[in-house]
Amino acid sequence: MTQSIWRMPRWFHQMGSPKWFYDFGGSLQPWFAIAAFALLTWGMVWGLAFAPADYQQGNSFRIMYVHVPAALLSQSVFLGMAVAGAVGIIWKIKVAFMVARSCIAIGATFTAIALLTGAIWGKPTWGAYWVWDARLTSTLVLLFLYAGVMALNQAITDRQIAGKATAILAIVGTINIPIIKYSVEWWNTLHQSSSFTLTAKPSMPADMYLPLLLTVLGSYCVFVLVILIRTRAQILQTQSGANWLMQHRDITGA
Amino acid sequence: MIGFMLTIIRRDLLLVARQPAEMINPLVFFVLVIAMFPLGISPEASILSQVAAGVIWVAAMLATLLSLELLFKLDHDDGSLEQLLLAPYPSWCLVLSKVFVHWLVSGLPLILISPFIAMMLFLPDHAIPTLMLSLLLGTPTLSLLGAIGAALVTGVRGGGMLLTLLILPLYVPVIIFGASSVAAAAQGMPVDGYMALLAAMLVFALMITPWAAGSALKL
């Protein structure tokens, strides 16, 4: 009975095998590296040098080519971490916990970049590095959530228990993120002390919009690349001395 | 199952009765933290009455967090937690009973003492019923959410600080609606919406957190 309901596609099973993930991830890795490099270079050069300046904000708007991808990634990485953790808990897949663990540092970095670039952009635009705007506040809380996950993951020495504990916290955090987001928005409308709001985006010309799309895609490639590298490193750590790895090394001569 | 939960509740209450300091310490902490605000900000009634709602809620949150550290720790240290988890009942029963006792011991006294604190901070009298009601709906949510953190850090060194890091971000919605409701009541505005949201969060926390904390205990 369980088999018919819970039968997984084959690739899903295979992803759970450290050996298969190591090999398959290794073959994907260069492609993501090339894609990330190409997309980011193309998008950044286009966006920073050739896109037209904004008629209101002048050149300072160009920081969005870094800011927007970082802000998008900060949330998707947390979601990805929770999904990987849930997969690990439900199907008891160790590699999934490693993927979730790889998400922590990169996600926190993207969140910090989003906050930092937001502050730099805020100074010329709003006249202040920091305002208690709804988006800023919820991003700050997200950074705190990452800090909590990171602290928990490092405090528990047993890697398997740490993986499960991190997964539970990531799932609880993900359930909470929308609640936090909407409550912060409510709170912000109550305290109308700062009337700075990001106005609804006017339709951007393609010359401004397409570079953004490129840097967003490039950042997602960076994310996947980092996950692959870090997860494969963890596989090497935990599987050191495993049979397949010893043979693997002989073949590659590394 | 009900019998199991009642047994746990009776046992934990008995343990608290024999160690009354466990119950009194968070309360003293609560009052102490609040006493620091007039000293640090200003004793002016006009300023204090403006920040009273937030100060009381933040202090209640910290007091809850501080007492949560011991929620599972003592049972874990003497080994009884392991035995309780082996009992043929779902682990959420255990969590729910222990959280209930924690709230009785740390949350309820805060609510009972809050009118006096409110007077010390010059909160308008007509906001006091709202303050008590918001604490009544909010503090159980704080205890429930905190139980997840307490379960996760059980057996981890330096758990108290870690618990604070894990749980404070999750408290953001509760403090927003709790403190805003009191502030709204002080201005004479309706508070039904806030109470409804606080109640909704309590119901939601009741559904999710015993499961999450229970599975965290079994790691």
Q: How many domains does chain B have?
A: 1
Could you tell me if B53 and B186 are in contact, meaning their C-beta atoms sit under 8 angstroms apart? yes
Identify the residue whose tokens are 């904000």. A57
**Ranges of chain B with pLDDT below 50:** none
- Which residues does chain A have within 8 Å of residue B215's beta carbon, measured at their own beta carbons? 89, 168
Helix residue spans in B78-107 (DSSP H): 80-86, 91-102
Q: Which is nearest to A210 in space by CA: A7, A30, A47, A21?
A: A47
Q: Which residue has the tokens 């108290």?
A: B160
- The pTM (predicted TM-score) of the whole model is 0.89
Residue A152 with chain B: CB contacts under 8 Å = 152-153, 156, 162, 165-166
User: Token pair of B49, please?
Assistant: 């009455």
Comparing C-alpha atoms, which of A69, A81, A180, A80 is closest to residue A135? A180
Alpha-carbon gap: A127 to the closest alpha carbon of chain B (Å): 27
pLDDT of residue A16: 75
Band the pLDDT of A203: cuts 50, 70, 90: low
Whether residue A180 and residue B157 make contact (CB cut-off 8 A), yes or no, is: no
Helices (H), chain B: 2-18, 21-40, 45-68, 70-77, 80-86, 91-102, 108-120, 128-153, 159-167, 172-186, 192-217
Contact state of A180 with B169 under an 8 Å Cβ cutoff = yes
Put simply, the answer to whether A168 touches B158 (Cβ < 8 Å) is no
Contact A155 B173 (CB under 8 A): no
CB contact under 8 A, B156 and A155: yes
B4 vs A59: which has the higher pLDDT: B4
Q: Which residues pair with A58 in a beta bridge?
A: A54
- Write out chain B residues lying below 8 Å of A89, CB-based: 215
Contact A187/B153, CB-based, under 8 Å? no
Q: What pLDDT, on a 0 to 100 scale, did the predictor assign at position A197?
A: 45
> How many CB atoms neighbour CB A157 within 10 A?
9
- Comparing alpha-carbon positions, the chain B residue that sits nearest to A177 is B170
What letter would DSSP give residue B126? Answer: G
Instruction: Count interface pairs A-B at CB distance under 8 A.
Output: 69
Nearest to B173 among A148, A165, A183 (CB): A183
**Which residue from B82, B97, B104, B84 is spatially nearest to B147, judged by alpha carbons?**
B97
Question: What residue spans of chain A are helical by DSSP H?
Answer: 2-6, 10-15, 18-45, 64-91, 94-126, 134-155, 159-190, 206-239, 243-252
Closest-CA distance of chain B to residue A51, Å: 39
Write out the two tokens for A14.
């295979």
Which whole number is the average pLDDT over A203-231? 89
Of the pLDDT bands very low, low, confident and very high (cuts 50, 70, 90), residue A218 is very high
State how far the Cα of A64 lies from the Cα of A115, in Å rounded to an integer. 12
Evaluate if residue A2 carries a pLDDT over 70. no
Closest CA to A51 of A40, A62, A60, A42: A62
DSSP state of A54: B
Whether A183 sits inside 8 A of B169 (CB atoms) is: no
Q: How confident is the model at residue A113 (pLDDT cuts 50, 70, 90)?
A: very high
CB A184 within 8 A of CB B176: yes
The neighbour count for residue A4, using CB atoms within 10 Å, is 6
CB contact under 8 A, A171 and B212: yes
- Determine the pLDDT at residue A7: 62
What does A11-29 look like in DSSP terms, one character per residue? HHHHHTSHHHHHHHHHHHH
Residue B5, Cβ neighbours under 10 Å: how many?
A: 17
Asked if B2 and B88 count as a contact pair (C-beta separation under 8 A), the reply is no
CA nearest to B169, candidates A119, A67, A179 = A179
